[in-house]
Structure 1
Amino acid sequence: MQPLWTTASVPQNESLSYWVEAVCRTYTALDCEERNRLAPFYGQIDAGMVGEIGVTQVRASAQKVRRTRRSIARHDEDKLLFSIQKRGRCTVVQDGRVAALTPGDFALYDTTRPYELIFDAEFAQYVVAVPGHALRPLLKMPERLTARRIPGGSSIGRAVLNAIETVAWNNGDLGYDAQCPMEEALRGLLSAGALSLLGAELRKSDTASGARRAAIKAYVFQHLRDPALCVGMIAAAQGVDVSTIHRAFDGEDETLSRWIWIQRLENARRDISDPSKSHLTLTEIAFFWGFNDMAHFSRAFKARFDQAPRVVRQQSLALR
């Protein structure tokens, strides 16, 4: 993630106004009120993107954040936001409900209606912003799901936190070709987390399968560089048998094993084509992305892209 805003860059007497501008530009039109006027106010936002999904990490002083009808009228942007608590506590208020979040917990809220976020002490959290058009069809009626706590100790809670931390700390290494499937996996995990609040929804086979598939993809992206990654390893991590993993992937165009190889090959091709990585050998790149046999890598690469790895590198260097 890249630092986007920090109050360390402005005089202390301007920090709150600077912070209000920062959160408005990053998320949507909001009002911010500091909760402890006796201590210096500070805040920092680090940011990354996965396709259309914004992933930020916020660290700041105690404050109250409000999205009012007036701010909605001023800026009626449609986003669905998830706060995933990392440190401290957060209270999310929307649609007549209150969700009290502790580290690991997360909750959904909707920028098209008023809401409040209350932080009574210093805190850190991830905020994931998804355009409404990209998530509303999966949730169908998001107003049923806002300001409801999804526990961090649940299986879906752990999966969401792991996926977000993968994006936060490895976003620059995901590569262009990995952005689309990772975006899909995040949307699936976030919607599954919200829908987990409605047990009847997850009992429907299509929703349950989609949630499992999203969790599988998120796990794969976390461990893509591990040469030992296989269907058995994924099944063990998720506490199910191998047949369950295969069934969850039935709706995909490729088998899970082949899909893993494709993700590795796409990332390797990106690095081989990148002139800034020309100091790395083809073997180093192949092994970095989970291959452990150079001859097999070369054959798989040529079968996938109709060119040998060395030819792709030569062409990229000739364009410099």
Structure 2
Amino acid sequence: MSYVLTTAGVPATQQFDLWQSAVSQTFVPLEATAGEHSAFRGRLRGQNLGSVAVYEASADAHTVRRTARAISRAAPDYYKLSLQLHGTAKLTQDGRQAALRPGDFAIYDTTRPYSLAFDDVSSTMVLMFPRSMLCLPSGQVEQLTAIRFAGGQGVSGIVSTTLVQLARNIDDPQVHGSVRLARNVVDLLGTALADQVDYADVPAETSRAAMLVKIKSYVESHLEDPELSPGDIAAAHHISTRYLHKLFSEAGTTVSGWIRHRRLERCGQDLADPGKHQLAIGVIGARWGLVDASYLSRAFKTEYGLSPSEYRRRSVEHRAR
């Protein structure tokens, strides 16, 4: 279910208070100051896709601050991303300031103070997600907060285009509840951040983590290929198969184990999706590279403790409550 809030129809003296309360409850506690006008136009719409909050905020000039006092009241462990859709904004954190124009985005950390200033009427796409969803070490991400990622080039351009499309379609019924879509967007963001790592100037463990982010993003986009192999993955990243296995071993898993886990997660998401209820279980498995129906059934039950058909039935019963 999408969430929509607007200050339209609210007495002018109450409009900004309503806005500050809405953004604080939707994201994290914030302190805000309005521009010079007595009335304040603001509109917030979006939804939570699993653990990822996806919202578009359109408003008159104002500034929001994540202060030490607000952090002391509640310090959820999240990253936020702001993509500028219209107008301009200035994000400040960790001694840096990113001036954002339409198409640009920047990332910031809710556990440390920051501010966002909108000097005029603007519209912003905001993502908020648990910090654990990014594979990069937190110390490395800290070096990338309040850094402008240009919307028209490289991987950051792909992220920008994806988010703009998401903003345009946020009310589309096919987007509602699409946890997989949100996860893919965060994975793509991780790739854009990893591209900023200077492998020559960072500790070896950081460069390995950044490489792992890129590899996992590649695997995510090739899960439907039943022939996907460690050799293919290593060759695509110009590393040896042995080094590939080492990267996953250091992360506490194996290449094949992680691929299987992600394929089963994708299958589980499809099995729980009402829009895919008519798809046969074998068809769902095949679309994620698991073409052997008997193997799918055994692996799924090992992973989730339920057979695919039982998992689908439980999901239907849960939605009916």
Q: TM-score, normalised by structure 2?
A: 0.66
Query: Is the Cα–Cα contact under 8 Å of residues 93 and 114 in structure 2 kept in the other structure?
Result: yes
Query: Secondary structure in 2 aligned to 1:172?
Result: coil
**Alignment partners' CA distance in 2, 1:262 and 1:96:** 40
Q: Match for residue 64 of structure 1?
A: 62
Offset, 1:299: 2.8
Q: How many residues align?
A: 301
Q: Match for residue 89 of structure 2?
A: 90
Query: Secondary structure in 1 aligned to 2:57?
Result: strand
Query: Is the Cα–Cα contact under 8 Å of residues 188 and 210 in structure 1 kept in the other structure?
Result: no
Match of 1:297 among 290, 293, 313: 293
**Alignment partners' CA distance in 1, 2:300 and 2:162:** 28
Cα deviation code 1:143-202 (max 9, x no counterpart): 765433344566563576589789997683447xx99xx59x759928x828947x4786
Cα deviation code 1:4-30 (max 9, x no counterpart): 342177547454332211111122332
Which structure is higher in helix share?
Answer: 1
Residue type at the aligned position of 1:63: A
Q: Match for residue 120 of structure 1?
A: 120
Query: Secondary structure in 1 aligned to 2:19?
Result: helix
Indicate the percent of aligned positions where both proteins have the same amino acid.
22
Query: Is the Cα–Cα contact under 8 Å of residues 80 and 110 in structure 1 kept in the other structure?
Result: yes
Evaluate the alpha carbon distance shift between residue 81 and residue 65 of structure 1 in structure 2; reply closer, same or farther with a 3 A threshold.
Answer: farther
**Alignment partners' CA distance in 2, 1:315 and 1:80:** 30
**Alignment partners' CA distance in 1, 2:201 and 2:18:** 43
Q: Match for residue 241 of structure 1?
A: 238
Evaluate the alpha carbon distance shift between residue 110 and residue 172 of structure 1 in structure 2; reply closer, same or farther with a 3 A threshold.
Answer: closer
Q: Match for residue 47 of structure 2?
A: 47
**Alignment partners' CA distance in 2, 1:276 and 1:122:** 35
CA-atom RMSD in angstroms: 5.0
Offset, 1:289: 3.3
**Alignment partners' CA distance in 2, 1:220 and 1:171:** 25
**Alignment partners' CA distance in 2, 1:222 and 1:166:** 18
Q: Is 1:147 equivalent to 2:143 in the alignment?
A: no
Q: Match for residue 190 of structure 2?
A: 189
**Alignment partners' CA distance in 2, 1:259 and 1:215:** 14
The 5-angstrom pairing of residues 28-43 of structure 1 reads 28-35=28-35, 37=37, 41-43=41-43
Offset, 1:92: 0.9
**Alignment partners' CA distance in 2, 1:251 and 1:171:** 36
Query: Is the Cα–Cα contact under 8 Å of residues 7 and 40 in structure 2 kept in the other structure?
Result: no
